[in-house]
A and B are shown apart, each in its own frame.
Chain A
Amino acid sequence: MGEVTRTVTIDGSEQGFATTKFDALLSWARKYSLFQYPFVTACCGMEFMSTVSPRFDIARFGAEAPRFSPRQSDVLWVVGTISQRQAPVLRRIYEQMMDPKWVIAFGTCASCGGFYDNYTTVPGLDKIIPCDVYIPGCPPRPEAILDGLMLLQDKIASGDRRPGVVKPRQDPADPKNDLVTLRTSASGRDE
């Protein structure tokens, strides 16, 4: 980022507060203007497309501008399986991005290799580049993707660079303990 040459006053004349306040302002601006670089290699791309399209509308979160040059983007979405052959390409794309930059591992394959436990697949993109948010699912639902984006925004706001995992909304092992309760219609079916 460029040099800060002016004093920024957020509220009244609280000059002594300005540094932290400025960081907070900057994080706030960053988290709502994420330019994304989608690195789409596999079937998860379908869910990504539906998430950026109007029905789920990722633009609500200020992340509506995909940039197909890594030099202009803030968030790298790694969507799909990373083969060993692609690993140098992915690392170069990450290195081309300007700081500050964040990486989202989209789906199980990008996060840990998924069931491609074999000679040709990288077992998780964090073996190659740092990762901020992991979104589990094969593929993840658009809701999980939006959860992942909001988790990343929280991390940007708080300056937390430790990786985070999107929590499932429903735990198959413990169906009673849903994080989100589904509405049930009169016929007893989930809606």
Chain B
Amino acid sequence: MSEAALSRLKERFGAAILETSSFLGDDTAVVDAARWKEIALFLRDDSKLSFDMPIDLCGVDYPERLPRMEVVLHVYSTSLRHRLRMKARVGDDEMNGAEIDSLVPVWSGVEWLERETYDMSGVTFRGHPDLRRILMYPEFEGHPLRKDYAANRTQPLIPYRTEEEAGVPLEKLAPFGPDEGMSFGRRPHLPHSEN
């Protein structure tokens, strides 16, 4: 749909557009993280692109790749009715240097999306006006959507009751067994998981 947008980006930014792909109407540009905000401004202001609406912004962790974290932005143009996906890759295998410019000055709508990406994946957005957790509580440690966050790690705010306190078994019996309703349940469950 917006392959024209991709070619316009390549013509304007050249080597800063690392790769592009188009598949079934999805047009994607992987860009140099250092020029993220500059390219976003161009996407918004260029009359042939005119992307005025950010749809989504999130982080995707690829632990086997380097740089490891991919920041994915979807934008839409309400006037020209086309879409574009833009990605940038940041962070080494320890997530050092996982920083990217905030796009809040470009589209104010990404403010909470950037907070969510920070909360879930641990990407720092330079210049964000209020970068703190949005879904998890402030006491939460780590970033749960990173692949190295242990799948069974929970961080309760109040200690769980013990079976002695409760006087009844807290491990679930039927019908609340391991696969209650869901065939893909991951068990055995560890309610008091070690960090």
Contacts and interface: CB of A to CB of B under 8 A. Distances in A.
B137 interface: yes
Contacts of A126: 161, 166, 168, 170
A180 to B, nearest CB: 17
Contact of B176 (A84, A122, A134): A134
Interface stretch (B37-45, B85-93, B97-105, B183-191): B183-191
A138 B181 contact: yes
Contacts of A115: 181-182, 184-185
A85 B161 CA distance: 16
B175 A120 contact: no
A91 B158 CA distance: 9
A85 B186 contact: no
Nearest to A165: B175
Interface stretch (B51-59, B64-72, B147-155): B147-155
B191 A127 contact: yes
B181 A108 contact: yes
A122 B159 CA distance: 11
A80 interface: no
A119 B155 contact: yes
Given A87-B158, A91-B158, A117-B185, A136 B176 contact: yes
Interface residues of B, number: 30
A130 B181 CA distance: 24
A123 B191 CA distance: 7
Contacts of A165: 173, 175-176
B160 interface: yes
Interface string A99-135: 0000000001001101101111011101111100010
A117 B186 contact: yes
Contacts of B14: none
Interface in A67-112: 84-85, 87-88, 91, 108, 111-112
B176 A119 contact: no
Contact of A108 (B149, B173, B180, B189): B180
Nearest to A111: B176
Interface of A: 84-85, 87-88, 91, 108, 111-112, 114-115, 117-120, 122-124, 126-130, 134, 136, 138, 162-163, 165, 168
Interface of B: 135-137, 144, 149, 151, 153-158, 160-161, 166, 168, 170, 172-173, 175-176, 180-182, 184-187, 189, 191
23 contacts: A84-B156, A87-B157, A88-B158, A108-B176, A111-B176, A115-B182, A117-B185, A117-B186, A117-B189, A118-B154, A120-B135, A120-B136, A120-B144, A124-B170, A124-B172, A124-B176, A126-B166, A127-B170, A129-B161, A130-B166, A134-B176, A136-B176, A165-B175
The 4 closest A-B pairs by CB, nearest first: A112-B176, A115-B182, A127-B160, A119-B144
Given A84-B154, A112-B172, 19 more contacts: A85-B157, A91-B158, A108-B181, A111-B172, A112-B176, A114-B180, A114-B182, A115-B184, A118-B151, A119-B144, A119-B153, A120-B136, A123-B191, A124-B172, A127-B161, A130-B161, A134-B176, A136-B175, A165-B176
